[in-house]
Amino acid sequence: MTVPLLEVHDLTIAFPAAWPVRNLSFSVAGGETVAIVGESGSGKSLTALALMRLLPGAARISSGRIDFVGQDLVTFSEPAMRKVRGARLAMIFQEPMTSLNPVLTIGAQIVDVLRLHENLSRRAARARAIELLDLVRVADPHRRIDDYPHRLSGGMRQRVMIAIAVACGPRLLIADEPTTALDVTIQAQVLDLLDGLRRDLGMGLLLITHDLSVVGQWADRVIVMYAGCKVEEGVPDVILHRPRHPYTEGLLAASPRTAEGSSYRDGLLREIRGSIASALGEQGCPFRPRCPKAAPACTLAPPPAVVVQPGHLAACPVLNPRQARDAVA
Amino acid sequence: MAAVVDMAETLAVPQEGRRRAFRAFLSNPAGVISLAFLLCAVALALAAPHLYPEDPLSMVARPFLWPGQNASYPLGTDSLGRDVAAGVVWGTRISLLVGFCAMALGISLGLLVGAVAGYFGGRVDDALVKFIEIFQTPPSFVLLVVLVAIAQPAISTVIVAIALVTWPTAARLVRAEFRSLREKDFVMAARGLGYGHARIIVREILPNALPPLIVSASVLVATAILMEAALSFLGLSDPNVVSWGSMIGAGRELLRTAWYLCAVPGVAIVLTVLALNLLGDALNDSLNPRVSAKR
């Protein structure tokens, strides 16, 4: 196996009185698409911000390592981090409508980042910006480059955001809900674009989403998060069709799917009872209060992720009673 | 630093927004008339040495000529036989000079302090707000009089004193703008691209904060002109230059017999300040898309 591009070990993010992400470990290899799925509040966006070292004021990384191309980003100073951000590690934010500066042309915004990280002349940067707009399939880039963001549709703006993100050829691109704010018809185009760029530029792609339909088609590996913990990890085929963790099962049962026999027309969608807030301060498994299979062992300790079959991890004590007993002992 | 190099380019409001704002401005008659009036005033001020090459303080004719009495002195002469028209024209020069310089200085100071306080927040903000409040606690005109009394009564010190009294207004405005703008997604996106604080302040946030600042600038010019007039009226400004305020001050004792000595420079002040305020309103309407959309 190749050396992973990004390796996160035991990452814990702390607010003064809460731990929204706990002991999270995962890795992304070069050229690989890893999707993190979870509902709102599961800590997936905070994880992305932690990787960029852009956590909001009160939050901080309380423990863990973020090894990116062999260096631990947690130890980086802010000036050192500035050299990484936008250059080797880039991020696309959720809201394309508001993530572009309204008073600068899109060309100026692409040129800015090129000139900051690549030391290009103004003329060279502009030529490169036109190439980039072409790369993200903005029609008529020569004219579009001098447009202000409000002249562009949401999909176009997201393409421009992608152009800015990949301008300096990042090794890893983090896309935080890149399609949530877009029309369904545009979503597939944008994801196709990201997938193509990943292949052409050989970068890793960390896709953060709550949309399971996105996962099946575009991800190489899926990490399911619940209340700040990784509850299951595996290839999409396994996660979407043979999940082992009760939360993943519940999540799938609650999603309308087009596969035969599971359409919403065949019956009501099942909900997962309760809310994610009930995991606050939970002792053992964070999903226990809402779990249909909860057993006494679940209250004891946070369940470790167990390999249920090669390449498929799940963190549930019920799956492996012996493991749960070991954890107690 | 690259951020500073980019500044000039950044300060230009985007072309398209500018065109839209310009059209909206043209559709507002009060604004257009005010702007025309102010441009005339500026032209008059610039032309003063050609129109009245002589010192406006020199005695040129019989005292107490009423306006219209003698065609050579259309606005009459004062108690010492000085030409009122020459005084008004030279006074325009002083009033506009003091107004614009004090505004530029006050806005610069306010921009610097307000931007830093609003962008960084936290303790920096607390400290700077306290600092701003020091200047806001005493009544502003009393502070102005004290500042001028301490320093030499020259035009430059009057300008600095007025700027020191008015900059808190600009600082508070800029701070409020920066506080709301720093939370915007595009600022987060800029941080995600590795931009430093100076660059984000100057290139990303400042251009977005400019429209309200431009509007307040015109009102600050008017305030500065009024303050300068008040200082001159009290005889606290430079005694060697004619200004509208000093002309009113000199005519005050003759108000019952020769009221035009106060009225002529008074009208100049009223019209100029009114024009600046109307211009500010018109700019506010045209630079604020929400307001102009309603029209």
The ipTM value here is: 0.85
Nearest to A91 among B192, B195, B204 (CB): B192
Residues of B in contact with A164 (CB under 8 A): 189, 193
Task: Specify the pLDDT at position A292.
Answer: 82
Q: Mean pLDDT throughout B249-256?
A: 89
The two structure tokens encoding residue B285:
């309407």
Kindly tell me if the per-residue pLDDT of B32 is higher than 60: yes
**Surface of A (93-152) touching B: CB under 8 A:** 93, 95, 98-105, 112-113, 115-117, 148
CB–CB contact A86 B17 (8 Å): no
* CB-based contact B74:B67 (threshold 8 Å): yes
Task: Specify the pLDDT at position A39.
Answer: 84
Kindly tell me if the per-residue pLDDT of A278 is higher than 80: no
Distance from CA of B193 to the nearest CA of A (A): 4
Buried b (16+ CB within 10 A) or exposed e, B119-153: beeeeebeebbeebeebeeeebeebbbebbeeeeb
Which residue in A293, A311, A305 sits closest to A10, CA to CA?
Answer: A305
Window from A160-169, B131-140, B164-173, B280-289 with minimum mean pLDDT: B280-289
Task: Specify the pLDDT at position A94.
Answer: 84
List, for residues B125-148, the tens digit of each pLDDT value.
999 999 999 999 999 899 999 999
State how far the Cα of B88 lies from the Cα of A68, in Å rounded to an integer: 72
State how far the Cα of A108 lies from the Cα of A130, in Å rounded to an integer: 11
State how far the Cα of B282 lies from the Cα of A291, in Å rounded to an integer: 63
List, for residues A27-58, the tens digit of each pLDDT value.
999 999 999 998 888 888 899 999 999 998 88
- Under DSSP, is residue B144 helix (H, G, I), strand (E, B) or coil? helix
Task: Specify the pLDDT at position A279.
Answer: 53
What mean pLDDT, rounded, does chain A reach? Answer: 86
CB–CB contact A98 B186 (8 Å): yes
Task: Specify the pLDDT at position A157.
Answer: 92
Which has the higher per-residue pLDDT, A175 or B55?
Answer: A175
State how far the Cα of A178 lies from the Cα of A91, in Å rounded to an integer: 10
Task: Specify the pLDDT at position A284.
Answer: 77
Buried b (16+ CB within 10 A) or exposed e, A291-321: beebeebbeeeebebbebeeebbbbbbbbbe
Mutant choice from A76, A85, A101, A110 vs B, greatest count of B C-beta within 10 A: A101
- Under DSSP, is residue A277 helix (H, G, I), strand (E, B) or coil? helix
**Surface of A (63-92) touching B: CB under 8 A:** 81-87, 90-91
> Confidence class of residue B8 from pLDDT cuts 50, 70 and 90?
very low
Q: Mean pLDDT throughout B166-189?
A: 94
Task: Specify the pLDDT at position B294.
Answer: 42
> Confidence class of residue B198 from pLDDT cuts 50, 70 and 90?
very high
- H helix intervals, A119-264: 122-135, 141-144, 154-166, 184-201, 212-218, 236-241, 246-253
> Confidence class of residue A264 from pLDDT cuts 50, 70 and 90?
low
CB–CB contact A101 B194 (8 Å): no
CB–CB contact A99 B186 (8 Å): yes
Distance from CA of B175 to the nearest CA of A (A): 19
For chain A, the C-alpha Rg in angstroms (whole number) is 21
Which residue in B77, B174, B188 sits closest to B128, CA to CA?
Answer: B174
Global pTM reads 0.82
State how far the Cα of A241 lies from the Cα of A223, in Å rounded to an integer: 14
For chain B, the C-alpha Rg in angstroms (whole number) is 22
> Confidence class of residue B292 from pLDDT cuts 50, 70 and 90?
very low
Count of residues making up chain B: 295
Task: Specify the pLDDT at position B187.
Answer: 94
Provide φ and ψ at A291, rounded to 5°. -85, 130
Task: Specify the pLDDT at position B189.
Answer: 93
Task: Specify the pLDDT at position B214.
Answer: 87
The two structure tokens encoding residue A292:
């249909």
- Under DSSP, is residue A20 helix (H, G, I), strand (E, B) or coil? strand
* CB-based contact A233:A223 (threshold 8 Å): yes
Task: Specify the pLDDT at position B15.
Answer: 57
> Confidence class of residue B71 from pLDDT cuts 50, 70 and 90?
confident
Sign of the torsion angle spanned by Cα atoms B94, B98, B104, B107: negative
CB–CB contact A93 B2 (8 Å): no
Q: Which CATH architecture has domain B24-49+81-294?
A: Orthogonal Bundle (1.10)
Percent of chain B with pLDDT over 70: 92
Nearest to A54 among B186, B192, B199 (CB): B192
Q: How many CB atoms lie under 10 A from the CB of residue B243?
A: 30
Kindly tell me if the per-residue pLDDT of B236 is higher than 80: yes
* CB-based contact B237:B108 (threshold 8 Å): no
> Confidence class of residue B4 from pLDDT cuts 50, 70 and 90?
very low
Amino acid type, B99: G
